[in-house]
Homo-oligomer: A and B are copies of this chain.
Amino acid sequence: MVPRPSQYYIDQINQHEFHGYALSRWLYSGQTKFQAIEVVESPKFGKMLILDGKVQSAALDEYIYHEALAHPAMLWHPEPRRVLILGGGEGATLREVLRYRTVEEVVMVDLDEEVVKVCQEYLPEWSAGAFEDSRTTLVCEDARQFLQRSVSPFDVIIQDITDPATVDFSEAYYRAIRQRLATRGILAMQALECTVSDFEGHLTIRKEVGKVFPWLLSYRAYIPSFRADWGFVLATTGEELIPLSTGNLAARISERLGPEARLRFYGPGMHTALHTLPRELAHLIGQKSEWG
């Protein structure tokens, strides 16, 4: 008889829900200057990165999260050459961005050098060589400091930070991001759960970002290891992103990622499916829905 699992990671998802994940191994545990890091292995989701008790990504489905975060902005932009990633210590957002032939430079700014090192050692499949790419510049610094001292413009800025609703991200911060965006630039960011039962954090982010960026689009994807439909926000400095047809998207994917490119989650049809929100959810977060 196989004994019932006895080791668990328990995520206190919110005040009223917790989720337990059986574990089979505990690979790393440490405390950096900024946060607690754990790398564990679940029989169901494979290796998992946990920061301050919250799962960041898991081997089984990290591609869903990272494709959903990177590709809508990267494909919607007319020609993404220079990309800035804020956070993203695992290196998987970087990996997705570097697939683009148009990309000439990616600057990745992560506060916590130790997280990057632990990921490189324990989760090398996440970055898959991205840190060694000649187009990559890794900067270990606070995003706010970097934004203030940086001067060059970026076509796409991707924010991949643990919980942007709890960090002290003021209007000034988003204004600094806006100033780093080139003309026609796009900001993409992970933006917490986005469901009819948990949308408050997402809404907070929309409000903060909306003070600086006049055009916003929320979309969401189901991440199995988060047990949630996860929200993302696209923002531009003014111009509305015009819906792309399935054919147009397929052509862009082929041109920019190569004719053989086969993403594991994202695709031309998924592009539209992602931002087709349930009407009631759209209403709750203040986004125009398909019903008007």
A interface vs B, CB < 8 Å? 3-12, 14-26, 29, 35-36, 38, 40, 42-45, 50, 52-54, 60-61, 63-64, 195-198, 222, 224-225, 227-229, 262-265, 267-270, 272-273, 276, 278-280, 289-291
Contact = CB atoms under 8 A, between A and B. Distances in A.
Contacts of A280: 63, 264-265
B222 A197 contact: no
Contact of A18 (B15, B19, B264): B19
A6 B3 contact: no
Given A224-B198, A269-B290, A25 B16 contact: no
A17 B38 contact: no
18 contacts: A5-B53, A6-B9, A7-B23, A15-B43, A16-B21, A16-B43, A17-B19, A19-B227, A20-B20, A44-B197, A195-B222, A197-B224, A222-B222, A229-B229, A264-B279, A264-B280, A269-B272, A270-B278
Nearest to A58: B197
Given A265-B280, A279-B263, A8 B5 contact: no
**Number of copies of this chain in the oligomer?**
4
B53 A6 contact: yes
Contacts of A9: 6-8
Contact of A195 (B14, B224, B290): B224
A22 to B, nearest CB: 4
Given A8-B7, A25-B29, A61 B290 contact: no
A60 B222 contact: no
Given A228-B227, A272-B269, A61 B19 contact: no
